[in-house]
């Protein structure tokens, strides 16, 4: 049974000091790109779907795509994770649809934008843990609110806010509401809820427009990760919004008729520093989106006569696979699927 609970993969990652990329999907090509990258690098896999992805793909398509992945790659452990569940019922419907891990994001209320009181967060997270654990499903919680420090929403280019709202880019709290994770609260929260993994807010945000300059220790609080890990050595930490937003991809998009405003992501070296201090799951979505878009734009510009979707979806899939391979190698998960198999973990 290669669909496995996230706890299994993250426990192995913790015991062997590596991190695992959690990669978002909406469609078949993205799942294929991830699975091929994982096979090539012998990596355990975390695939995640947001509420937006579940509604875009529809539950049945998504479930069968995941089952196809598990069937075609029996040598790889695959986690299917609900990204940013906004309520217990979202988490339960994910579990009914075969997800082996859920995030109950009680840091925000059910509207997924209003910061929630701590007591609310504990209540919903604890409830989901009780149900999920009984079904061998893992749970990720979140303390603190994602956003950016040292950057206000008005710094982000207008194009970001005029994009049609995509439920994947979870509506974020206004910057003044965004707050970093308080280590005391994190410690209490884990004791009170028993979550398997904890997302921490350290200054990253979702989407492409994370930082208006190369991030420094002032805006990206890696030291906070170290502090939380010192207090919670047995909790798997999760970094959200951790795309690196490669300059090269921004350039390809812009050279081919795109309009991405100059932006900076989370440097891979900072993520590697996090992995040394308890970060086990790293959420990456934007980099894959950029890679696919760059490849598609290139085909459209260079070969305007083409109209078979495979002519641009194949290069798009290939480009996403390349990013996935790069992340799997730099996070250290490469080479670990066979070790998990040898240890009879799945
Ligand atoms: Zn997130």
- 244 in a structural domain: yes
Distance 115 CA to ligand 1 centre (A): 14
pLDDT confidence band for 204 (50 / 70 / 90): confident
Residue range 282-301, pLDDT digits in tens = 999 999 999 999 999 999 99
- 1 in a structural domain: no
Exposed (0-12), middle (13-18) or buried (19+): which is 45, by Cβ within 10 Å? buried
In this predicted structure, the answer to whether residue 50 has a pLDDT above a threshold of 60 is yes
Distance 58 CA to ligand 1 centre (A): 21
Domain that residue 159 falls in: 6-342
The count of structural domains within the chain is 1
In this predicted structure, the answer to whether residue 66 has a pLDDT above a threshold of 70 is yes
Residue range 74-104, pLDDT digits in tens = 999 999 999 999 999 999 999 999 999 999 9
- What confidence score (pLDDT) does residue 213 get? 86
Rounded Cα gap, residues 178 and 130, in angstroms: 28
Average pLDDT, the chain: 90
Q: Are 129 and 223 in contact (CB under 8 A)?
A: no
Question: Poorest-confidence range of 2-16, 54-68, 212-226?
Answer: 212-226
In this predicted structure, the answer to whether residue 174 has a pLDDT above a threshold of 50 is no
In this predicted structure, the answer to whether residue 150 has a pLDDT above a threshold of 50 is no
Q: Would you list the DSSP string of 52-104? A: HHHHHH-HHHHHHHHHHHHHH-TTS-EEEEEEEE-SHHHHHHHHHTT-SEEEE
Q: Is 332 left (phi over 0), alpha (psi -120 to 50) or beta?
A: left
In this predicted structure, the answer to whether residue 219 has a pLDDT above a threshold of 80 is no
Catalytic annotation on 83? yes
pLDDT confidence band for 212 (50 / 70 / 90): confident
Mean pLDDT, rounded, for 263-272: 92
pLDDT confidence band for 167 (50 / 70 / 90): very low
Distance 228 CA to ligand 1 centre (A): 19
Residue 228 belongs to domain with CATH number: 3.20.20.70
Rounded Cα gap, residues 157 and 71, in angstroms: 43
In this predicted structure, the answer to whether residue 252 has a pLDDT above a threshold of 70 is yes
Q: Are 180 and 221 in contact (CB under 8 A)?
A: yes
Q: Are 59 and 80 in contact (CB under 8 A)?
A: no
Distance 240 CA to ligand 1 centre (A): 5
- What confidence score (pLDDT) does residue 105 get? 96
Percentage of the chain with pLDDT > 70?
A: 90
The helix/strand/coil state of 215 is coil
Rounded Cα gap, residues 213 and 218, in angstroms: 12
- 212 in a structural domain: yes
- What confidence score (pLDDT) does residue 163 get? 35
Distance 206 CA to ligand 1 centre (A): 6
- 201 in a structural domain: yes
In this predicted structure, the answer to whether residue 1 has a pLDDT above a threshold of 80 is no
Of 105, 102, 108, nearest to 46 by C-alpha is: 102
Distance 283 CA to ligand 1 centre (A): 7
Residue 79 phi, psi dihedral angles, 5° rounding: -105, 135
- 106 in a structural domain: yes
Q: Are 218 and 162 in contact (CB under 8 A)?
A: no
Q: Are 3 and 68 in contact (CB under 8 A)?
A: no
**CA dist 234 to 105, 137, 276, Å?**
20, 18, 13
Alpha-carbon dihedral angle through residues 11, 12, 18, 22, given to the nearest 10 degrees: -70
pLDDT confidence band for 217 (50 / 70 / 90): confident
Residue-wise over 175-191: b if at least 16 C-beta within 10 A, else e?
Answer: beebbbbbbeebbebbe
Distance 344 CA to ligand 1 centre (A): 31
Catalytic residue among 11, 42, 83, 287, which?
A: 83
- 137 in a structural domain: yes
Of 281, 282, 286, 219, nearest to 250 by C-alpha is: 286
- 53 in a structural domain: yes
């Amino acid at each position: 049974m290669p669909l496995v609970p996230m706890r299994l993969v993250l426990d192995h990652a913790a015991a062997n000091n590596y991190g695992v990329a959690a990669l978002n999907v909406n469609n078949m090509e993205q799942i294929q790109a991830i699975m091929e990258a994982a096979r090539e690098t012998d990596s355990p896999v975390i695939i995640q779907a947001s509420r937006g992805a579940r509604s875009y793909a529809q539950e049945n398509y998504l479930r069968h795509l995941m089952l196809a992945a598990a069937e075609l790659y029996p040598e790889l452990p695959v986690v299917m994770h609900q990204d940013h569940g906004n309520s217990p019922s979202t988490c339960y419907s994910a579990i009914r649809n075969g997800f082996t891990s859920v995030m109950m994001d009680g840091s925000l209320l059910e509207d997924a934008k209003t910061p929630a009181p701590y007591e609310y967060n504990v209540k919903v997270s604890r409830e989901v843990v009780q149900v999920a654990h009984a079904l061998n499903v893992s749970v990720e919680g979140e303390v603190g609110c994602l956003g950016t420090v040292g950057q206000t929403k008005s710094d982000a280019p207008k194009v970001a806010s005029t994009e049609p709202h995509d439920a994947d880019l979870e509506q974020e709290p206004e910057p003044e509401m965004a707050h970093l994770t308080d280590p005391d609260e994190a410690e209490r929260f884990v004791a009170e809820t028993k979550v398997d993994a904890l997302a921490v807010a350290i200054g990253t945000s979702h989407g492409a427009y994370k930082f208006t300059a190369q991030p420094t220790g002032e805006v990206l609080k890696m030291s906070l990760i170290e502090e939380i890990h010192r207090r919670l050595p047995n909790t798997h930490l999760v970094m959200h919004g951790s795309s690196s937003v490669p300059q090269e991809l921004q350039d390809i998009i812009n050279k081919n008729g795109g309009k991405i405003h100059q932006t900076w992501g989370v440097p891979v070296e900072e993520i590697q520093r996090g992995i040394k201090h308890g970060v086990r799951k790293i959420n990456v979505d934007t980099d894959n989106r950029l890679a696919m878009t760059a490849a598609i734009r290139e085909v459209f510009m260079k070969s305007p006569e083409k109209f078979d979707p495979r002519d641009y979806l194949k290069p798009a899939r290939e480009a996403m696979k390349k990013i996935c391979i790069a992340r799997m190698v730099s996070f250290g998960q490469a080479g670990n699927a066979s070790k998990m198999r040898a240890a009879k973990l799945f």
